[in-house]
Amino acid sequence: MVQKHTVKAFDDELKQLADIIARMGGLTESQLGEAIEALAQRDNARAEAVVLADARIDVLEHEVDEMGVRLIALRQPMAADLRVIIAALKIAPILERIGDYAKNIAKRSLAISRVAPVRPLFTVPRMGRMAREMIKDVLDAYAAVDVAASRAVWERDHELDEMYDSLFRELLTYMIEDPRNISPCTHLLFVAKNIERIGDLATNIAEIIHFQVEGRTIGENRPKVDEASTTVVSAPAELGG
Amino acid sequence: MSENAILRAGPSRVVAPVPIVSAAAQTQPHRVNIAASHVDVFYAAKQAIVDVSIDIGEHQVTAFIGPSGCGKSTFLRCLNRMNDTIPICRVTGRIAIDGEDIYDPGMDPVQLRARVGMVFQKPNPFPKAIYENVAYGPRIHGMIGNRAEADEIVERSLRAAALWDEVKDRLDEPGTSLSGGQQQRLCIARAIAVSPEVILMDEPCSALDPIATARIEELIDELRQNYTIIIVTHSMQQAARVSQRTAFFHLGVLVEAGDTETIFTNPRDGRTQDYITGRFG
| pLDDT, tens only, B141-171 | 988 889 999 999 999 999 999 999 999 999 9
Of residues B17 and A232, which shows the higher confidence score? A232
For B276, the closest of A6, A78, A83 (CB atoms) is A78
The mean per-residue pLDDT over the stretch A69-75 comes to 94
By percentage, how much of chain B surpasses pLDDT 90?
A: 81
- Whether B150 and B114 have beta carbons less than 8 Å apart is answered as no
Which of B241, B265, B271 to probe the A interface (max A CBs under 10 A)?
A: B265
A1: chain B residues, CB-CB within 8 Å: none
Q: Do B265 and A82 touch (CB under 8 A)?
A: yes
For chain B, the first-to-last Cα distance in angstroms comes to 48
Q: Do A215 and B266 touch (CB under 8 A)?
A: yes
What is the distance between the alpha carbons of residues B21 and B196, in angstroms, rounded to a whole number? 9
Q: Is residue A116 assigned to a domain?
A: yes
pLDDT of residue B9: 40
Shortest CA gap A215–chain B (Å): 6
Count CB atoms within 10 A of the CB of residue A69: 12
B276, closest residue in chain A (CA to CA): A78
Q: Is residue A206 assigned to a domain?
A: yes
Q: Do B278 and A80 touch (CB under 8 A)?
A: no
Helix (H) or strand (E) holding B10: none
> b vs e for B113-124, b when ≥16 Cβ sit within 10 Å of the residue's Cβ?
bbbbbbbebebe
B201: phi then psi, degrees, rounded to nearest 5: -125, 120
pLDDT of residue B145: 86
- Whether B25 and B62 have beta carbons less than 8 Å apart is answered as no
For B265, the closest of A2, A76, A215 (CB atoms) is A215
Q: Is residue A3 assigned to a domain?
A: no
pLDDT of residue A123: 85
Of residues A7 and A65, which shows the higher confidence score? A65
Shortest CA gap A70–chain B (Å): 16
Q: Is residue A1 assigned to a domain?
A: no
Question: A111 in contact with B at a CB cutoff of 8 Å?
Answer: no
Shortest CA gap A91–chain B (Å): 19
A86, closest residue in chain B (CA to CA): B265
Give residue A38's domain range.
8-239
Of residues A120 and A209, which shows the higher confidence score? A209
A79: chain B residues, CB-CB within 8 Å: 264-267, 272-273, 276-277
What is the distance between the alpha carbons of residues A51 and A74, in angstroms, rounded to a whole number? 37
Confidence of residue A121 (pLDDT cuts 50, 70, 90): confident
Question: A2 in contact with B at a CB cutoff of 8 Å?
Answer: yes
For chain A, the first-to-last Cα distance in angstroms comes to 69
Q: Which DSSP letter does residue B34 get?
A: E
The mean per-residue pLDDT over the stretch B88-114 comes to 93
Among candidates B16, B51, B271, which has minimal Cα distance to B145?
B16
Indicate whether B274 pLDDT > 70.
yes
| Total domains present in chain A | 1
Q: Is residue A185 assigned to a domain?
A: yes
For A3, the closest of B237, B264, B274 (CB atoms) is B274
Shortest CA gap B259–chain A (Å): 13
pLDDT of residue A235: 63
Q: Do A2 and B279 touch (CB under 8 A)?
A: yes
In this structure, are strands B198-202 and B228-232 parallel, antiparallel, or unpaired? parallel
Q: Is residue A81 assigned to a domain?
A: yes
Q: Give how far the C-alpha of residue B203 lies from the chain's centroid of Cα atoms, to the nearest Å.
A: 10
Dihedral Cα A157, A161, A163, A165, nearest 10 deg: -170
Q: Do A215 and B276 touch (CB under 8 A)?
A: no
Q: In what order do the strands lie in the sheet with B34-43?
A: B46-56, B34-43, B89-97, B100-101
What is the per-residue pLDDT across A123-146, written as a single tens digit (0 to 9) for each?
899 999 999 999 999 999 999 999
- Whether B170 and B200 have beta carbons less than 8 Å apart is answered as no
- Residue A23: CATH number of its domain: 1.20.58.220
B272, closest residue in chain A (CA to CA): A79
Q: Is residue A2 assigned to a domain?
A: no
Q: Do A7 and B278 touch (CB under 8 A)?
A: yes
Using CB atoms and an 8 Å cut-off, which of residues 221-260 of chain B contact chain A?
236-237, 240
Indicate whether B19 pLDDT > 50.
no
Q: Do B281 and A216 touch (CB under 8 A)?
A: no
The domains located in chain B, with CATH, are 3-14+31-276 (3.40.50.300)
Indicate whether B213 pLDDT > 50.
yes
Question: B276 in contact with A at a CB cutoff of 8 Å?
Answer: yes
What DSSP string describes A78-119?
-HHHHHHHHHHHHHHHHHHHHHHHHHHHHHHHHHHTTS---G
A212, closest residue in chain B (CA to CA): B266
For A76, the closest of B237, B266, B267 (CB atoms) is B237
Indicate whether B105 pLDDT > 70.
yes
Burial of A179 per CB tally in 10 Å (0-12, 13-18, 19+) = exposed
Q: Which DSSP letter does residue B194 get?
A: T
- Whether B75 and B98 have beta carbons less than 8 Å apart is answered as no
Q: Give how far the C-alpha of residue B50 lies from the chain's centroid of Cα atoms, to the nearest Å.
A: 23
pLDDT of residue B6: 40
CA atoms within 13 A on the CB side of A94: 24
Helix-then-strand count for chain B, H and E? 12, 10
Question: B267 in contact with A at a CB cutoff of 8 Å?
Answer: yes
B264, closest residue in chain A (CA to CA): A79
Shortest CA gap A85–chain B (Å): 12
Which of B236, B256, B263, B266 to probe the A interface (max A CBs under 10 A)?
A: B266
